[in-house]
Structure 1
Amino acid sequence: MRKAALAMPEAEEGTHFGMPSFSVRGKGFAVLDRRDAVLLHLPAEAVERVLAEYPTGERLERRGTLLGVRLPLADIDGQRLNGLAAEAWRHRAPKRLVAAYDEAERAAGRPGGDLPAIGRPATSALYTAGITSLEQVAERSEAELRALHGVGPKAIRILREALEASGRSLR
C-alpha cells in the first residue's frame, strides 16, 4: 500500500500517533494502524460500498462525523487496497490537483506526444507539473525533474537519451 499511496501526486508519508500515515497537502487519507488494519478517509457513499463488500470493516466516526473505514489487512487483496488508497487520496486532495492528475492519466494513455515511455508514475508526475513535451523537459534541470515524485534515475536516463536523439539536452 505504501508504494501505491506514495505514487499519488504530492502524497507524503508521515506518522499519526506513531503509526505510518499518508497525506496530501496536510490532509491525511490513509493510516496503517497497530491492529494490522488500514484506516481510509472516504466519502459516505464509498464507505457504504466498502462496508457492503467487506463485512469485517468498521465505520470510522468522530463525534458523530463520518471519517471513513477501518479494514483488516488480512481481508483485502493488495490490488483492491491500492485502489481504495487512490480513492481516499482523491477524496482528500484539492480539486485542482485531482483534475491535473486526471488529465495526466488521460494524456498518458494518448498516443502522439513526443515524451518517451518512462512509466506511469513518471509520466503522471511530468503531466501534473505541466510538462507535456520533450521541449519542456529540455527547459528543466535534472535536479528539477528528480524533485518530481515518481521521476527516478531510470526516467531521467530515458529522457536524457530521447533529448540527445533530438539534438537537445537538459538545462
Structure 2
Amino acid sequence: MTTLAQLRKAALALPETEEGTHFGIAAFSVRGKGFASVTKDGYVQLRLPRDEAEAAVAAHPGGELLTRGAAPIGFRVPLADINGKDLNALVRAAWFGRAPKRLAASLAEAEAAADGSADGASAHEGDLPGGIGRPATRALFGAGLTTLERVAGRTEAELLALHGVGPKAVRILKQTLAERGLALRSP
C-alpha cells in the first residue's frame, strides 16, 4: 500500500517539481504543467502519453484511463492499490512527459552519468563517493548535486527528502565531507 507521503517524496525528488493544489486536491507540477495529483477519495492521477497510460491500465487492473472528453490523457488508480516501486516509475514517466524537453534531457543525462561507472559515480563529472549507492547517486545528480562542494550547500533534511537518499548515504557523505574539510549546511 502506497501513501500520499510516498507520492510526495517521489514527485518532489524530480527537478523543479512544485506541490500545490488543483481544485482542492494535492497536485504536483513541473514549470506549471501538472503531472500527478491525488483526489480526495484516494486516487492518484498521472498525466501520461496514451501508450504509457494503456500499459499502466494493463499492468494495474484496478486502474483506469484518465480522459478529457473522449481523449485519454493519463491513468488513475487507487493509491492504496499500487506498490511504491510501480508508483515511482509512473510518477517519473508522468514527469518526463510534462517537463520541458531540455529539463527532461538534463535529468536523463545526469542519470546516465550516475549509472556510467561501476562505483555509481560519474567518471566525467563529480566526486561523490561510490559507497552511497546508485539510487542516492541518481537522486543527487538529478538534483544537480554532482560534487561534494554542492552537497555541502544542503542540510541533512534536504538530502533525506530526495527519493533514493537514505540515512546510510547521508552518513557516508558526511564522513567524506569531513575528510575533505567540508560539512553539510546547518538547518
TM-score for both structures, normalised by structure 1: 0.74
- Quote the offset at 1:56 in angstroms: 3.0
Q: What is the percent sequence identity of the aligned residues?
A: 50
Task: Give the partner amino acid of 1:105.
Answer: E
> 1-side partners of 2:87 and 2:56: how far apart?
11
Unaligned runs of 5+ in 2: 1-6
- Quote the offset at 1:70 in angstroms: 1.4
Counterparts of 1:1-171 in structure 2 under 5 Å?
1-109=7-115, 110=117, 111=119, 113=123, 114-116=127-129, 117-118=131-132, 123-124=137-138, 126-128=140-142, 132-134=146-148, 137=149, 142=152, 144-146=153-155, 150=162, 159=173, 161-166=175-180, 169=182
Bigger shift: residues 108-117 or 92-101: 108-117
- Quote the offset at 1:67 in angstroms: 1.5
Unaligned runs of 5+ in 1: none
TM-score for both structures, normalised by structure 2: 0.69
Structure 1 counterpart SS, 2:107: helix
The structure-2 alpha-carbon separation of the partners of 1:49 and 1:133, relative to structure 1 and needing over 3 Å to count, comes to same
Structure 2 counterpart SS, 1:100: helix
CA-atom RMSD, angstroms?
3.2
Task: Give the partner amino acid of 1:165.
Answer: E
Checking the alignment, whether the CA contact within 8 Å between 1:12 and 1:22 is kept in structure 2 is yes
Checking the alignment, whether the CA contact within 8 Å between 2:63 and 2:77 is kept in structure 1 is yes
> 2-side partners of 1:108 and 1:78: how far apart?
22
Matched residues, number: 165
